[in-house]
A and B are shown apart, each in its own frame.
Chain A
């Protein structure tokens, strides 16, 4: 299993007995053992879990039973998705030693289909960051250039898929955490509509923004995974599940005549290589018979402050429960309860998480609530409205995923500099829309560039179709896994 295979090809190989599921699993685990010391994509590897599922799949194949769409396919979960009896730490010291006693809804679904869980992947601590460097296990690396970050927060998943250490990964996206690392690593990342996938079991960062989605090698794989995980779940009151038929069914429909919005605000301040790749992508779509519609979305100037105020406010409340009393890290020496909680949190949370808790606590405090939180909520509504009227003029929006390509390690110690690279991804989370990042070329340093397709609410089928059609047309941009040990 040296070369990259799509989910369908992997399953064909299984069904044609080219390899057993156990052999397939072993080849992935061997690759992880070989390459993870370089990449640090995985923080937990789960061979037992993987092999026992693989055995079940082999038995099914031997019995001549058909496989479900993701059955027997090796994959990975971000370390903020709860897995029963398997450590789930959000790559934070404060959750060291914590092992959930239940499965996240998405994992429950995939486990029932005998997905092969290879392990849990690296991330920025509590998904707060865009470099993967705030992980308490140290950052993951970008397989395209080991001196660069894979992006974040789902950096481990993106780098694993990029280096073919998993066929696909589940990540979470609060402000770009699936799309941005997908863009940096040259893979596909889908952030579904808010409410399309159950959040039950996803350890919350910002509940009204968080959404689970796939990182995969191509749009078709992303569609297959999304179709599998987007079912209604009564445990998540905000989840309604996918609307309409499975997205994978309509990927081959023509996109001729599709209206693609080009909001000029998204194209400001792009690195030249990114600019060029996006212009090429626009041309490709025109060649496919799509119509480009120039748009203006001036409301986007508020996106970053709105996002950071609201997401931090929610985070400050969501992260209040980590106090050392029931699970996870607990400080060693203390005199009373108050000191125990203070020291546990000061020692257990990293600097970026503490910064966001403080910011969030501040904007919710009495006397500041109206000036920050309330105002940000109002502006959130304006951004929602702006997208809604934009979608009266177009079917999807085409924008860069990030204004830059993968950044060097330790790029900036200035938090605001890092926050700025989220400018193209956060609006989608603010408005609860689906967005997908698709590789669309390389920059002058040969680093991958990602383009972002944004859809209407529950319009995953449309952006996945547009992504798939693009992949077919622009074959030179198609994902090809980076081989570690060769390129190193």
Chain B
């Protein structure tokens, strides 16, 4: 389109799904009456001290390992000093020059590699609530653990940015360290954008758009900002280094503060917290805890199990869902049928995203396994699987409770032979058509057999039997 190239770097904040906050034992649960998930520590009362939640360190290391980062065996916590009412200590405890993870990467589908500079841990701030001309502070979110994933300025297109953010969310959700609910603010991005002439070596002056919690807005903001910067450059003007805000209603960005107002955070080591030591054995232990890489699993699902790409993606979207699938599918031949049961009947009962996330259903993986095993063994057919599964989901009882001996008996070869003969006799037109060269006509005869067995017959086998009867 133009001779200009977009250059983007991302800082992604991901809320970790630990049960308790990073420096105290308050719950991290979203929502709740304002200031009810708080204690003297997370509201920074004088004299209180932070105590680092080791789960936070572990989760951050797992995030680092999943994005090919080096894990620092020694790191520390620093204070980032700034004044804002939602920050009760007037400093945020974060990591400055010794992050827990560094030098990782994430590969995109176009083959480009996005380098991850660092991943560090920090505490979230509270929230300002504006109501009827007043401003209130809710500290429920204060002290919720975050990781900040910082990339190099390696993005060249908006699509890459979008894919990266989606992929980061999918990885974090997959390894179970975050539920990545953008609408609840558990993933937020700061985007650094600059523009340069194609082929130029140096980076242009960048602007930063802070605190965006929707992929759509991120892409819109980047597109708008890129166009704005091109306009400036075309007009012979300079881009000024500043922090900008994305205005969702008017789809544009506006300046917040310039470089000269840039905050001096006066970082220094937090004297209340001790050095974080992560021995090699601990890293190995966490590595072993990580699930098989999502990409590998995806390939296995689609290639080995013959599950469609869309279905595989859906299964892998929810951690408890694929864990359920993996458990139920062990030793099953027809994994595709199992997947379709989960994505069809089971998902229909789990309407919302969070219901699918929680995956609370009446049927144990073992019971579903037993049901699909009957299909594998040719004892029942798919339509019976489906109707039985409905009953199982309603009652929580195993398949055996709903299937009679007759259901499980299947159709003997002699019976099938007899039924096929009957089908030809009772449908002379269809038989004539088939013999006349209309191969499709055999479907009508198969349909007759299926109908008369209430679906218990094997359609494939019935067709073969019919063809053989005609040959003879």
A positions within 8 Å CB-CB of B: 80-82, 88, 90, 95, 98, 100-102, 104, 199-204, 206-208, 234-238, 313-314, 316-317, 320-321, 323, 325-327, 337, 341, 361, 364-366, 369, 373
List, in ascending order, chain A residues with CB within 8 A of B268's CB.
313-314, 317, 364, 369, 373
Smallest distance from the beta carbon of A372 to chain B beta carbons, Å?
11
Contact with A along B40-84 (1 / 0, CB 8 A): 100111111111100000000000000000000000000101010
Given A237-B52, A313-B268, A317-B81, also A202-B47 (CB < 8 A): yes
Question: Are B49's CB and A325's CB within 8 A?
Answer: no
Smallest distance from the beta carbon of A360 to chain B beta carbons, Å?
9
List, in ascending order, chain B residues with CB within 8 A of A237's CB.
49-52, 272-274
Kindly identify which residue among A90, A101, A206, A364 contacts B45, using a CB–CB cutoff of 8 Å: A101
Smallest distance from the beta carbon of B274 to chain A beta carbons, Å?
5
Question: Are A341's CB and B45's CB within 8 A?
Answer: no
Contact with A along B273-289 (1 / 0, CB 8 A): 11000000000000000
Smallest distance from the beta carbon of B56 to chain A beta carbons, Å?
14
Question: Are A317's CB and B47's CB within 8 A?
Answer: no
Any A CB within 8 A of the CB of B236: no
List, in ascending order, chain A residues with CB within 8 A of B137's CB.
325
Residue of B nearest to A314 (CB): B271
CA distance A236 to B274 in the complex (A): 10
CA distance A98 to B46 in the complex (A): 10
Question: Are B91's CB and A320's CB within 8 A?
Answer: yes
Question: Are B91's CB and A341's CB within 8 A?
Answer: no
B positions within 8 Å CB-CB of A: 40, 43-52, 79, 81, 83, 85, 88-91, 137, 264, 266-268, 271-274
Kindly identify which residue among B40, B44, B85, B264 contacts A337, using a CB–CB cutoff of 8 Å: B85
Question: Are B46's CB and A207's CB within 8 A?
Answer: no
20 A–B contacts, CB within 8 A, in A order: A88-B46, A95-B46, A100-B40, A101-B45, A102-B40, A104-B47, A201-B48, A203-B46, A204-B272, A206-B271, A208-B271, A238-B272, A316-B266, A317-B266, A317-B268, A321-B88, A321-B89, A323-B83, A369-B266, A373-B268
Task: Give me the 5 closest cross-chain CB pairs, A-B, nearest first.
Answer: A320-B90, A208-B271, A364-B266, A207-B271, A203-B46
Residue of B nearest to A89 (CB): B46
Residue of A nearest to B272 (CB): A207
CA distance A90 to B49 in the complex (A): 17
Given A101-B40, A317-B79, also A204-B90 (CB < 8 A): no
Question: Are B51's CB and A234's CB within 8 A?
Answer: yes
Smallest distance from the beta carbon of B352 to chain A beta carbons, Å?
37
Given A200-B47, A235-B49, A236-B49, also A341-B274 (CB < 8 A): no
Kindly identify which residue among B40, B51, B90, B274 contacts A317, using a CB–CB cutoff of 8 Å: B90
Smallest distance from the beta carbon of B461 to chain A beta carbons, Å?
69
CA distance A208 to B237 in the complex (A): 50
Given A102-B40, A341-B83, A365-B264, also A323-B47 (CB < 8 A): no
List, in ascending order, chain B residues with CB within 8 A of A104's CB.
47
CA distance A326 to B47 in the complex (A): 15
Smallest distance from the beta carbon of A39 to chain B beta carbons, Å?
26
Question: Are A326's CB and B88's CB within 8 A?
Answer: yes
List, in ascending order, chain B residues with CB within 8 A of A325's CB.
85, 137
Question: Are B271's CB and A102's CB within 8 A?
Answer: no
Given A207-B272, A237-B272, also A201-B90 (CB < 8 A): no
List, in ascending order, chain B residues with CB within 8 A of A337's CB.
85
CA distance A208 to B274 in the complex (A): 11
List, in ascending order, chain A residues with CB within 8 A of B81's CB.
316-317, 320, 364
CA distance A103 to B298 in the complex (A): 54
List, in ascending order, chain A residues with CB within 8 A of B50's CB.
237
List, in ascending order, chain B residues with CB within 8 A of A314's CB.
268, 271
CA distance A369 to B272 in the complex (A): 20
List, in ascending order, chain A residues with CB within 8 A of B40's CB.
100-102
List, in ascending order, chain B residues with CB within 8 A of A321's CB.
44, 46, 88-90
Residue of B nearest to A236 (CB): B49
List, in ascending order, chain B residues with CB within 8 A of A316's CB.
81, 266
Residue of B nearest to A327 (CB): B45
CA distance A207 to B271 in the complex (A): 6
Could you list 7 further interchain pairs (A-B, Cβ under 8 angstroms) beyond the known A98-B46, A237-B50?
A90-B46, A200-B48, A207-B272, A237-B274, A317-B79, A321-B90, A326-B43
Residue of B nearest to A201 (CB): B47
CA distance A327 to B89 in the complex (A): 12
CA distance A317 to B79 in the complex (A): 8
CA distance A224 to B250 in the complex (A): 70
Smallest distance from the beta carbon of B250 to chain A beta carbons, Å?
26
Question: Are A323's CB and B49's CB within 8 A?
Answer: no
CA distance A341 to B272 in the complex (A): 25
List, in ascending order, chain A residues with CB within 8 A of B272's CB.
204, 207, 236-238
CA distance A361 to B83 in the complex (A): 13
Smallest distance from the beta carbon of A196 to chain B beta carbons, Å?
15
List, in ascending order, chain A residues with CB within 8 A of B89's CB.
320-321
List, in ascending order, chain B residues with CB within 8 A of A204's CB.
46-47, 272
Question: Are B264's CB and A366's CB within 8 A?
Answer: yes
List, in ascending order, chain A residues with CB within 8 A of B51's CB.
234-235, 237
List, in ascending order, chain B residues with CB within 8 A of A317's CB.
79, 81, 90-91, 266, 268
Question: Are B45's CB and A200's CB within 8 A?
Answer: no
List, in ascending order, chain A residues with CB within 8 A of B267's CB.
364
Smallest distance from the beta carbon of A342 to chain B beta carbons, Å?
10
List, in ascending order, chain B residues with CB within 8 A of A202's CB.
47
CA distance A101 to B44 in the complex (A): 12
Kindly identify which residue among B43, B47, B79 contacts A100, using a CB–CB cutoff of 8 Å: B47
Smallest distance from the beta carbon of A455 to chain B beta carbons, Å?
22
CA distance A236 to B271 in the complex (A): 11
Kindly identify which residue among B49, B52, B271 contacts A200, using a CB–CB cutoff of 8 Å: B49
CA distance A98 to B45 in the complex (A): 10
Question: Are B46's CB and A100's CB within 8 A?
Answer: yes
CA distance A237 to B269 in the complex (A): 14
Among B48, B51, B85, B268, the one with the most A-chain Cβ atoms within 10 Å of its Cβ is: B268
CA distance A127 to B43 in the complex (A): 23
Residue of A nearest to B265 (CB): A366
Question: Are A365's CB and B266's CB within 8 A?
Answer: yes
List, in ascending order, chain B residues with CB within 8 A of A234's CB.
51
CA distance A438 to B259 in the complex (A): 56
CA distance A77 to B337 in the complex (A): 72
List, in ascending order, chain A residues with CB within 8 A of B271's CB.
206-208, 238, 314
Among A199, A206, A317, the one with the most B-chain Cβ atoms within 10 Å of its Cβ is: A317
Residue of B nearest to A207 (CB): B271
Among A95, A208, A237, A366, the one with the most B-chain Cβ atoms within 10 Å of its Cβ is: A237
Question: Are B46's CB and A82's CB within 8 A?
Answer: yes
Residue of A nearest to B274 (CB): A237
Question: Are B83's CB and A82's CB within 8 A?
Answer: no
CA distance A159 to B273 in the complex (A): 34
List, in ascending order, chain B residues with CB within 8 A of A82's CB.
45-47
Smallest distance from the beta carbon of B256 to chain A beta carbons, Å?
16
List, in ascending order, chain B residues with CB within 8 A of A236's CB.
49, 272
List, in ascending order, chain B residues with CB within 8 A of A203's CB.
46-47
CA distance A317 to B44 in the complex (A): 12
CA distance A355 to B46 in the complex (A): 20
Among A88, A238, A321, A364, the one with the most B-chain Cβ atoms within 10 Å of its Cβ is: A321
Residue of A nearest to B39 (CB): A102
Smallest distance from the beta carbon of B34 to chain A beta carbons, Å?
14
List, in ascending order, chain A residues with CB within 8 A of B85's CB.
323, 325, 337
Smallest distance from the beta carbon of A69 to chain B beta carbons, Å?
25
Smallest distance from the beta carbon of B55 to chain A beta carbons, Å?
15
List, in ascending order, chain A residues with CB within 8 A of B91's CB.
317, 320
Question: Are A320's CB and B83's CB within 8 A?
Answer: yes
Question: Are A199's CB and B83's CB within 8 A?
Answer: no
CA distance A134 to B267 in the complex (A): 29
Smallest distance from the beta carbon of B319 to chain A beta carbons, Å?
31
Residue of B nearest to A204 (CB): B47
Kindly identify which residue among A238, A313, A361 contacts B274, using a CB–CB cutoff of 8 Å: A238
Residue of A nearest to B85 (CB): A325
List, in ascending order, chain B residues with CB within 8 A of A201's CB.
47-48
